[in-house]
Amino acid sequence: GENVEQHPSTLSVQEGDSAVIKCTYSDSASNYFPWYKQELGKGPQLIIDIRSNVGEKKDQRIAVTLNKTAKHFSLHITETQPEDSAVYFCAASLGKLIFGTGTRLQVFP
């Protein structure tokens, strides 16, 4: 079955810097890759997603890139703000979502 690895597990950045989180997946048939932000005690919130027919997608300060050949995709957050602090999960989908292990992002003012 599908397996998703996510790195790093923790990431600390200064406000205004960029943050990058990387994921790799094992099943080349996976065709949908969402990213979720989860704040403490809350459910995951979809922040951006990309499908396998697209290499890059951007939404304001957030962007996702997908390399199907290498089977990895990345989340890029620019101009980070303290409110970006949360746990971020990547996922790969073949009909059902398989989640990565999560990255705890801390943005220091």
DSSP 53: T
Shortest gap between Cβ of 76 and other proteins (angstroms)? Answer: 21
From candidates 77, 102, 105, 107, binder to other proteins by CB under 8 A: 102
Residue 95 contacts residue 42 (beta carbons within 8 Å): no
- Cα torsion for 24, 31, 34, 26, to the nearest 10°? -20
Preceding omega of 82 cis (within 30 degrees of 0): no
Count of residues that interact with other proteins, criterion CB under 8 A: 22
Near other proteins in 47-66, by CB under 8 A: 49, 51
- Separation CA 17–CA 4 (nearest Å): 26
* Residue with Cβ nearer other proteins (15 or 29): 29
Closer to other proteins at the Cβ: 3 or 18? 3
The binding site for other proteins (CB under 8 A) comprises 31-32, 34, 36, 41-46, 49, 51, 89, 93, 95-102
